[in-house]
Amino acid sequence: MSGRAGIDADIKRCASVRQCVAVAPEYFSPNGEGGRVRILQSSVPPEDFDLVDEAVESCPMQVLGLHPAAPDSAS
Amino acid sequence: MNLQDAPHVDDIDVSALGIEASKCPWATHGQLRERGPVLTHPRPGGLGYVVTGYEDVLAAFQEPAFSKDPNTIDEQFPEVSAGAKRAGFALTTSGSSHLLNTDPPNHTRLRRLVMRAFTPRRIQSLRPRIQEIVDGLLDELQEQETPDLIEDFAFQLSITMICELLGVPSEDRADFRVWSVASTTPPRKDDDLNRQVEAQKALQDYLAAHIVRRRAELAQSDAAEPADILSAMIAARDENDDNLNDSELVGMAFLLLIAGHETTVGLIGTMAHRLATLPDQRELLLQDPDLIENAVEEFLRFEGAVQRSTLRVAMEDLVIADTRIPAGSVVSMLLGSANHDPRKFENPDEVDITRDTTGHVAFGQGIHFCLGAPLARAEAQIAIGTLLRRFPGYELAVSEDELRYARTVIRALVGLPVHLKPQKATAAL
């Protein structure tokens, strides 16, 4: 149990607004398929929870989520 | 790759009168799509380019070489910006910087700051208040014989929300409404243009003074969460402690009105109109009120208030759909056409509130995606959901032929008179 959280995304609904990229460029890239956003790393350490949470919250399509990693998950 | 020049269209009316104000914009859009994915058409001050097909509209939204910044455009293509100003592009060029007249990186900074005031979670918290306003308006309307759902319902809801979001005190609201209506009513004669410019000036002066006042009040207050969206925008700071200056706040407040008022009226009006005339769709919603979220998305797709994107200017020679778009071209994406492209949506000209609406472009796409989308969605869901729950049998009080659309770039009915509780018994007399 690392206390990390995971980013999940329903990328097919992404509208390429790239608000998440502006907020947390370490986690989101604008270079996904069809101009959609691509997740660079889905595992988030506690010190970045606020930042990623802001990115998740900022998505007007509500495509993103930040969830506690399952206790037995690998990372 | 064989590049082509865009076919020129001068026998189909691509103006607001031919599209936004027509009975069936999708018929015009269908004709345009058949002519080609990118077309030129006459517009005031020169040629305009429109993109018609769904996939090509998406590609255009991703194009970084488009600019919306009048200063950038003016520097490189002064003749384009002079033409655009004459044609009424002035709405997005007036005064201060805001989201629709900036490019990255300025736009990125502004959007990140104002976004905090518009997150879906924040808008969610406004729902009880929206419900209260809707309930109050419907209480009044049920006393009337033939209320107008545009004037007395959609318009009132939209302007009341905007006043509250901006924290406009009740004693100023009458003036505010007069300026707002005059500012957003498109000019038809030279006189109107002067009146519009004067109203915009009055509104901007009011907003400037109002923002100074709110900023001072906010400094005195120790509330943890700013009460209205204007205060949230005043308080917004990024990690570098950057914030919006007064001029940018005026621009944003002004944009909220310009981009958010008539469009919301249009969406609510469209839904109230179509649900009155499509009994099968209304029945679906009455049976399953949870369908309201998808119904709003379907009506956005089918008949969104914004049928064409705001204008962009190509800052270099571009190619979209194998078609040349020369530097300096004024380009717009036909959102209504993309949303009725049969290659994307099956039976696109039919309303089906149960269909998969994923990917519709009624709010645009990319970095200029409508900031107010969560608010528009919440207002439409609550307004139409409540209208149907309380008055499931409401009917048009005029024939459909008598309905008229505003002659503007926003698709919105001018009026929608209804009977909320039709006297079914009259037929039996």
| pLDDT tens-digit readout, B309-321 | 999 999 999 999 9
- What integer pLDDT is reported at residue B429 of this predicted model? 45
Rounding to the nearest 10 degrees, give the CA dihedral for residues B404, B407, B411, B414: -40
Checking if the pLDDT of A70 tops 70, the result is no
- Band (pLDDT 50/70/90 cuts) for residue A9 is very high
The pLDDT value recorded for residue B316 is 97
The two structure tokens encoding residue B59: 């590609």
Q: Which residues of B touch chain A, with CB atoms under 8 Å apart?
A: 58-59, 61-62, 108, 111-112, 115-116, 118-121, 358-359, 363-367, 369-371, 373-374
* Residue A13 pLDDT > 70: yes
Q: Is pLDDT above 80 for B28?
A: yes
- Model confidence at B425: pLDDT above 60: no
What is the mean predicted confidence (pLDDT) over B361-372?
A: 95
The span from the CA of B75 to the CA of B345, in Å, is: 41
| Optimal mutation site among A28, A36, A58, A63, interface B, most CBs of chain B within 10 A | A58
pLDDT tens digits for B34-88?
999 999 999 877 789 999 999 999 999 999 999 999 889 989 998 887 766 665 5
Mean pLDDT of A14-38: 93
Residue of B nearest to A56 (CA): B119
> Testing the interface with B: which of A13, A17, A48 to mutate, by most B Cβ within 10 A?
A17
Q: Which of B58, B119, B365 to mutate to test the interface with A (most CBs of A within 10 A)?
A: B119
**pLDDT for the residue B128:** 97
* pLDDT averaged over every residue in chain B: 90
Set of chain A residues whose Cβ sits within 8 Å of the Cβ of B358: 12-13
pLDDT at B88: 52
| Omega cis (within 30) before B105 | yes
Task: Give the lowest-confidence range in A21-25, A47-51, B81-85, B336-340.
Answer: B81-85
The C-alpha atoms of residue B379 and residue B158 are separated, in whole angstroms, by 8
Residues B155-192 have pLDDT tens digits of 999 999 999 999 998 889 888 888 887 877 766 666 77
Evaluated on CA atoms B76, B77, B78, B82, the torsion sign reads negative
pLDDT at residue A1 tops 70: no
Smallest CA–CA distance, residue B120 to chain A, in Å, is: 6
pLDDT score for B419: 97
Q: How far is B374 from chain A (nearest CA, A)?
A: 7
Minimum distance, in Å, between the CA of residue A4 and any CA atom of chain B:
23
Please tell me the distance in Å from B54's CA to the nearest CA on chain A. Answer: 13
Kindly indicate the confidence band of residue A75, based on its pLDDT and cuts at 50, 70 and 90: very low
The ipTM of this complex is 0.86
Residues of B in contact with A64 (CB under 8 A): none
**What pLDDT does residue B237 have?**
82
CB atoms within 10 A of CB B27: 13
Residue percentage of chain B with pLDDT more than 70:
93
Evaluate whether B330 touches B38 at the Cβ level (below 8 Å): no
> In the prediction, which pLDDT does B124 show?
93
pLDDT greater than 70 at residue B89: no
Q: Are B83 and B46 in contact (CB under 8 A)?
A: yes
pLDDT for the residue numbered B192: 73
Smallest Cα distance from A18 to chain B, Å: 6
Residue B87: per-residue pLDDT: 56
| Rounded CA separation B333/B181 (Å) | 27
- Could you tell me if A11 lies within 8 Å of chain B, comparing CB atoms? no
**In this predicted structure, what is the pLDDT of residue B46?**
78
Give the separation between CA B61 and CA A75, rounded to whole angstroms: 36
Q: What is the mean pLDDT of residues A19-34?
A: 93
With cut-offs at 50, 70 and 90, classify the pLDDT of residue B428: very low
CB pairs below 8 Å between A and B: how many? 51
The residues in A 23-62 lying below 8 A from B, measured between CB atoms, are: 23, 34-35, 57-60, 62
pTM: 0.93
Rounded CA separation B191/B141 (Å)? 35
- Helix/strand/coil (H/E/C) assignment for every residue in B283-342: HHHHHCHHHHHHHHHHHHHHHCCCCCCCCEEECCCEEECCEEECCCCEEEECHHHHCCCC
pLDDT digit string, tens, across residues B202-241: 988 999 999 999 999 888 887 766 778 899 899 888 777 8
pLDDT of residue A74 exceeding 50, the answer is no
A59 CB neighbours in chain B (<8 A) are 120
Give the residue, B192 or A7, on which the prediction is more confident: A7
Mean pLDDT of B115-136: 93
Question: The tokens of B191 are what?
Answer: 């006189």
Rounded to whole angstroms, the Cα distance separating A22 from B235 reads 19
Non-local (6+) Cβ contacts of B313 within 8 A are B66, B67, B68, B73, B77, B80, B328, B329, B330, B331
